[in-house]
Amino acid sequence: MATVLLFMLLAVSVVSADQNAFIGVNIGTALSDMPSPTQMVALLKAQNIRHVRLYDADRAMLLALANTGIHVTVSVPNDQLLGIGQSNATAANWVKRNIIAHVPATNITAIAVGSEVLTTLPNAAPVLVSALKFIHSALVASNLDSQIKVSTPHASSIILDSFPPSQAFFNRSWDPIMVPLLKFLQSTGSYFMLNAYPYYDYMQSNGVEAVDANTLLHYTNVFDAVVDAAYFAMFYLNFTNVPLVVTESGWPSKGDSSEPDATNENANTYNSNLIRHVLNNTGTPKHPGIAVSTYVYELYNEDERPGPVSEKNWGLFDANGLPVYILHLTGAGTVLANDTTNQTFCVAKEGADPKMLQAALDWACGPGRVDCSPMLQGQPCYDPDNVAAHSTYAFNAYFQKMSKAPGTCDFKGVATITTTDPSK
């Protein structure tokens, strides 16, 4: 039952918010077989993804996104932050080259200046607020400041004593930066960007089901607790009206032996419930009904990312555009339905062990209760008469019969999901 605690949803009525929350996706590029920008945009359209965050301002990607209406957050990479934070002219040139050259055809709505700077690039922290202000000034000069917000994503680790949320506060050593940063966000109508990863908190705490004794607010999931901790930390510094957007959140679908919680099932549970929770505008216990728009980390599995196995497996899709798993999103809207055209099938893996295929085939036609009579000699699915073809028929019949539920196209590792109809 531990999986239930990954992201148990609050049973409350939907409260209308001033602005509906959205689900976006992050697009990383550490893939050995990177899809072209055109292919990526085609996948975004097919999945009805209307909000994306790029980790740079790649020209080819921005051109491919032109005239799609998709809301784009572009980023100033950390290695460019020092130059921009030290020079108004450098910032203006960056905006001219990466923003003005693409709007209005490309719907750029935000600029993320650096990423987790305070925790990963502390030597650049003193110029972070200057970088934000210089970028914003360049937008003002081009009359784009009302359309494009400027902020910077933070790791949740800058929040100390995060549970219960009411006790949370930012690491005080960052006050000389955090206070002017929050003043900037407040004065420009921008939002606090937070990277929230319950996966790591969950591994340490084995879930959250608790009442904050100070506020009597009831928490049933780590995501809400992390978001409210950020709200309380801002409140501690006397900022009560800065909205929050979660720029990264997700769950890995695969890990090594030391990462038992990184599974397909857990990733599907977390991301499916996260998406439903956000799109329902449920808000958090501290701010019910207040939208918490969130970007899922991430669109693709990135096989070239360094680190443990989990680092390579946060994606919703493989590089070829096939879903890693089919999200449980019935009734949650069309965004990220994974199978919007109902065109996924279950087939035998190429090169699979024939003995394992035969065992899986026997199970499907026996305990799996698949009608395998069309594969009998003289029947329409008899040819080609080999175990791979017959297994594909039986696997797909079972997969479709089970409504493509997660885990119903595995057969001990000899089956895989494809978008190519095996009957053709």
- Residue positions annotated with a catalytic role: 116, 248
Residue with tokens 């009957």: 423
76 Cβ contact list (under 8 Å, min separation 6): 57, 84, 94, 111, 112, 113, 114, 131, 135
Q: Identify the bridge partners of residue 295 per DSSP, sorted by sequence position.
A: 24
Question: Cα separation of 21 and 214, whole Å?
Answer: 28
C-alpha gyration radius of the chain: 24
Question: Cα separation of 11 and 338, whole Å?
Answer: 26
156 Cβ contact list (under 8 Å, min separation 6): 162, 194, 195, 196, 197, 226, 229, 230
- Quickly list H helices, 196-305: 198-205, 222-236, 264-279
Question: Cα separation of 214 and 236, whole Å?
Answer: 14
Tokens describing residue 6: 């990954």
In terms of Cα–Cα distance, which of 101, 186, 102 is closest to 136?
186
Q: Identify the bridge partners of residue 418 per DSSP, sorted by sequence position.
A: 345
Question: Cα separation of 362 and 375, whole Å?
Answer: 13
Residue 414 backbone phi and psi in degrees, to 5:
-105, 5
- Quickly list H helices, 306-365: 354-365
Please state the separation of Cα 241 from the chain's center in Å: 26
In terms of Cα–Cα distance, which of 363, 200, 258, 106 is closest to 208?
200
**Cβ contact 189:239 at 8 Å:** no
**Cβ contact 80:56 at 8 Å:** no
**Cβ contact 151:193 at 8 Å:** yes
Q: How many degrees, rounded to 5, is the angle at CA 128 between CA 125 and CA 130?
A: 135
